[in-house]
Each structure stands twice: as C-alpha cells, then as structure tokens.
Chains A and B, each alone.
Chain A
Amino acid sequence: MSTASGRDLAGLLGPGASATEEFGEQTVDVPPDRWLEALAGARDALGLTFFDWLSAVDELDVGLRVVCHLAAPDATRRVLVRTLLTGAEPRLMSATGLFRGAEWHERETAEMFGVTFEGSTRAGPLLVSGVPGHPMRKDAPLVRRDAQAWPGRTDPSQSRREAPA
C-alpha cells in the first residue's frame, strides 16, 4: 500500500497549496488556477483514481468553496481537495477531462451554487428547472418558511373537551 498523502500532493503542487489533517482526513487546499493540476496529481501521483463526489460550500463573505473527494479504489486512502472561489460569478475549470463522472456533480454544483464550470461537455439544469437563483446559496430565500405556518405552534392545551363518560 502506498503511503502517499495529501501532504505529498501539496508538496508536489508547490507554493500556494497547503495540506491539513483533521480526524485522519487529508485535506488539500489549492488556488483555483491549480485546481485541475491538483486533481490530476491526486489521481496520477497518489493513485486516487476513484472520483467520489464534488460539491461546494457557501462560506458567505469568505467565498464559495468547491470540494472534491477522491479515493483509492481499495478505499484505503482518500483526500479532500478544496479551492476557494470569490467574486459574484464564481468560475472553475471543469474536471470532466480528468474524470468523466465529474459531469453530473459539476452540473449539480452549477445549478445549486451558481458555479460556472468552464469546458464542461454538457450544461443545463440537472435537478430542477425554472427555479430562479441557486437554492443552496445561503442568501437563497426559503420561500416555504414564509408560506407555511410552523406546525409546532399548536398545543393540545389549546383545545379542551369534556372526557366521554
């Protein structure tokens, strides 16, 4: 078993990339322009050839963090590659050239978080259509919360009856 780690990957990528380990989880942070380089490095140098998932986290003022989880096919090692996108229209290079299966995840992330993946082979909404905005952004209004009354507002004590004899 190879012992290559996120630290090795960060070393491979040089300045700008950093690796941390928390609770046994390897995380590598890279600048957006090194994104594909980092994923390719994890795949080829570390042997993490299994593309598990890709998504994003809305970190409000900090920006939008895109996260990708890659693993070894025997599930012994894995690494979380992250990058931080800032600005009103976040863009990132598509990983579909490296992992064909990234397309589904990128389309979902594009739809839910409003990230444009450049060079993606297919675009367009995946899960919902005709919904304005990006539902997973933290500034997206939760319309249902306004339209629906909280079910916990009622209490049995509000209605009292005589017990049947």
Chain B
Amino acid sequence: MTSGPSGRSRGVIALDVDRCTSCMICVRECPDWCIEIDAHQEVTPAGGLGGRSRTRNVLDRFEIDYALCMYCGICVDVCPYDALHWAPRSTPDERSAHALVHDAERLAVWLDDVPDRVGPP
C-alpha cells in the first residue's frame, strides 16, 4: 500500500506547456485571478506562390499563484486543449507567499503524477 493521496485527488494543478496555446481562457475564468500568462504572437511569412502567412501564439510566462488559488479547478475544466490537469500532490510549504508562485517549469513537474494522462499526439 502506498501512502499519500489517491490518484484522482484534486491536489495541485499541473501544466503541459506543449499543449498550452496561450488562449487566455483559464486566466479569464479564474475567480481568484491567480493565473498569469505572458505570450506573444509570431508570424511566419508566406512561403511560395499563393501561400499565406501563419500566426501562432508563443507562451512566454505561465504562473499560478498558489497563495491565491482556491483549488476550484475551473481552469482545468475550461482548458480546451487539456493543458491543465489535476495531480495528486500537495503544494509544498514555502517560507514566503511569493515562493508559492509556480512558473511553467515547476507546474510541469507534477505532470508525471497525473494518472491516465494521454500525451500530446
């Protein structure tokens, strides 16, 4: 028997950066305003005859402030690209509230704990 929360526990929210399209839906739906995204668009010029330029969002910064988060899971529900997942972990204790701001790198660590996660195609 393993200790710790069960697999489906709503412990923390993990981010799959590769799936995030910086659509801002989670940021705007969050009742606590605890998610922040910085992103820009990159334009690839049209290549060849009759081609069109392509625009895509590039994520620069994704942060969840766990000092504010109330673990409602609305961001997980609204994400159209399954970039956010519940992971059965608990937020580590920190010495300051500022250290509870988790960037994309720290949020990605919990991805391995997400049960039955279907990876990017």
Contact A156 B24 (CB under 8 A): yes
Q: Are A162 and B41 in contact (CB under 8 A)?
A: no
**Contact between chains at A152 and B42 (CB < 8 Å):** no
Q: Which residues of A contact B44 (CB under 8 A)?
A: 163
Q: Tell me whether B100 is interfacial, beta carbon within 8 Å.
A: no
Which A residue's beta carbon lies closest to that of B39? Answer: A156
Q: How far is the CA of A148 from the CA of B34 in the complex (A)?
A: 11
- Asked if residues B43 and A159 are in contact (CB atoms below 8 Å), the reply is no
Contact yes or no, A163 B27, CB < 8 A: no
On whether the beta carbons of B40 and A156 are closer than 8 Å, the reply is yes
- The DSSP consensus for interface residues of chain B is strand
A124 within 8 A of B: no
Give which listed residue, B22, B24, B38, B41, contacts A161 with CB less than 8 A. B41
Q: Are B41 and A152 in contact (CB under 8 A)?
A: no
Tell me, in angstroms, the Cα distance from A164 to B44 when the chains sit together. Answer: 8
Assess whether B27 is in contact with A152, with CB atoms less than 8 Å apart: yes
Check: A157 CB closer than 8 A to any chain B CB: yes
**Which residues of A approach B to under 8 Å, CB–CB?**
148, 150-152, 154-157, 159-164
- For B40, the closest partner residue in chain A by CB is A159
Complex Cα spacing A162 to B41, Å: 8
Known A-B contacts A150-B33, A151-B33, A151-B35; the reply to A161 vs B28 at CB < 8 A is no
- For the complex, what is the distance from the CA of A162 to the CA of B55, rounded to whole Å? 9
Q: How many A-B residue pairs have CB under 8 A?
A: 45
Rounded to whole angstroms, the CA-CA distance of A27 and B39 in the bound complex is 50
Q: Is B6 an interface residue (CB 8 A)?
A: no
Residue of A nearest to B35 (CB): A151
A155-B24, A156-B57 given; A148·B33 CB < 8 A: yes
Asked if residues B33 and A159 are in contact (CB atoms below 8 Å), the reply is no
Write the nearest CB–CB distance from B70 to chain A, whole angstroms: 14
Q: Shortest Cβ distance from B30 into chain A, in angstroms?
A: 8
From B37, B56, B57, contact of A151 by CB (8 A): B37
Residue B103 is within 8 A (CB to CB) of chain A in the complex: no
Q: Are A163 and B42 in contact (CB under 8 A)?
A: yes
Q: Which of A152, A160, A163 contacts B24 (CB 8 A)?
A: A152
User: B18 to nearest A CB, angstroms?
Assistant: 16
Which residues in A have their C-beta under 8 angstroms from that of B39?
156, 159
- State whether A151 touches B36 (Cβ < 8 A): yes
**Bound complex: CA A154 to CA B59 (Å):** 13
